[in-house]
């Protein structure tokens, strides 16, 4: 009797144990299947949190699958490298006129770069410096260096207005008739550069650009560059003005002649021999 009773409970225990392992195996299998399904659905769903991409990325389209592209991402103008570089704007200018301005600006900045290099290489005076600004002094030298440095880049950020007519220049000793005036700026409107009809009639000069010369000359009037005035215009009068250093250093054309002269010296080194670079400008007014 006791033996039968013992065998009965052994059978019951074996059955319960088998049932337990069967349920456990089914549970593990079901959990694995469920986990796999969750992974698959998560992989194809858009992220619920913002993606921290490179600086300047405001929005990235919802990811599709495992990969996403930044090609269509919106770049914030505040942090875009290109937005930090100011660009010139043009008003009432034909496509041909715009192209002439662009070329003149490139030339002007090239001349200013040559002047900057000349000054950096001749910190203790140079013949070219005294020719246009008179007796050397360190303070004036730094002023010329600073303005040359600014003219290397600023012209490409100015606003250029192609005017149908221009006012007469009454600010200088030599009045310039409105029909002969080439360009002008108003110091109260920084960065606004007015181009007169005579600008387009300037003759081509070998190894130079009269349009670029005038961009430099008028550009020095802006306070952010130097804030010059026009005491004299012609080549010979500006040379004589160097005898009055204080006036020469505030005369826009003197800066333009100096900068152009520095460019001429660079060409001399490249081409060799004598190079009468400024000879064509002696009649410029």
pLDDT (average), residues 244-257: 96
78 and 90 assigned to the same domain? no
60 and 117 assigned to the same domain? no
Identify the band that residue 190 occupies on the pLDDT scale cut at 50, 70 and 90. very high
pTM listed for this prediction:
0.67
Distance CA 194, CA 144 (A): 24
Domain extent for 184: 86-281
182 and 206 assigned to the same domain? yes
Which of 82, 112, 127 corresponds to the end of one domain?
82
48 and 174 assigned to the same domain? no
92 and 78 assigned to the same domain? no
Which of 33, 60, 82 corresponds to the end of one domain?
82
Among 4-13, 96-105, 195-204, where is mean pLDDT lowest? 4-13
Domain of 273, CATH number, reads: 3.40.390.10
Q: Give me the chain's average pLDDT, please.
A: 76
**Per-residue pLDDT tens for 44-100?**
333 333 323 332 222 333 333 333 333 333 333 333 333 345 789 999 999 999 999
What's the structural domain count of the chain?
Answer: 2
68 and 133 assigned to the same domain? no
142 and 60 assigned to the same domain? no
Q: Is the pLDDT of residue 13 over 60?
A: no
Distance CA 200, CA 171 (A): 23
101 and 55 assigned to the same domain? no
pLDDT (average), residues 240-252: 97
110 and 126 assigned to the same domain? yes
Q: Of 13-17, 202-206, 277-281, which one has max mean pLDDT?
A: 202-206
214 and 268 assigned to the same domain? yes
What percent of the chain clears pLDDT 90, i.e. is strictly above it?
Answer: 55
Which of 49, 82, 115 corresponds to the end of one domain?
82
13 and 125 assigned to the same domain? no
pLDDT (average), residues 13-18: 54
Q: Is the pLDDT of residue 204 over 70?
A: yes
How confident is the model at residue 163, as a pLDDT?
A: 97
14 and 61 assigned to the same domain? yes
């Amino acid at each position: 009797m006791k033996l039968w009773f013992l065998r009965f409970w052994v059978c019951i225990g074996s059955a319960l144990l088998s049932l337990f392992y069967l349920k456990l195996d089914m549970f593990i299998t079901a959990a694995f299947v469920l986990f796999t399904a969750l992974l698959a659905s998560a992989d194809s769903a858009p992220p619920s949190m913002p993606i921290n991409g490179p600086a300047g990325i405001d929005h990235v389209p919802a990811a599709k699958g495992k990969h996403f592209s930044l090609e269509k991402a919106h770049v914030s103008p505040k942090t875009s490298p290109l937005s930090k570089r100011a660009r010139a704007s043009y008003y009432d200018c034909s496509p041909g006129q715009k192209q002439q301005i662009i070329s003149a600006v490139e030339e002007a900045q090239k001349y200013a770069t040559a002047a900057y290099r000349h000054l950096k290489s001749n910190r203790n005076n140079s013949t070219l410096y005294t020719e246009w600004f008179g007796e050397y002094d360190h303070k004036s030298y730094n002023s010329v260096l600073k303005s040359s440095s600014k003219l290397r880049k600023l012209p490409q950020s100015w606003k250029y207005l192609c005017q149908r007519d221009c006012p007469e220049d009454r600010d200088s000793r030599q009045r310039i008739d409105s029909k002969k005036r080439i360009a002008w700026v108003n110091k109260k409107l920084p960065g606004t550069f007015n181009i007169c009809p005579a600008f387009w009639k300037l003759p081509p000069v070998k190894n130079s650009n009269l349009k670029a010369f005038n961009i430099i000359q008028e550009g020095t009037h802006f306070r952010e560059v130097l804030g010059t005035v026009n005491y004299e215009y012609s080549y010979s009068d500006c040379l004589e003005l160097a005898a009055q250093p204080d006036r020469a250093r505030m005369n826009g054309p003197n800066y333009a002649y100096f900068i152009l002269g520095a460019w001429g010296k660079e060409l001399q080194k490249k081409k060799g021999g004598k190079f009468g670079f400024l000879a064509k400008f002696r009649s410029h007014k």
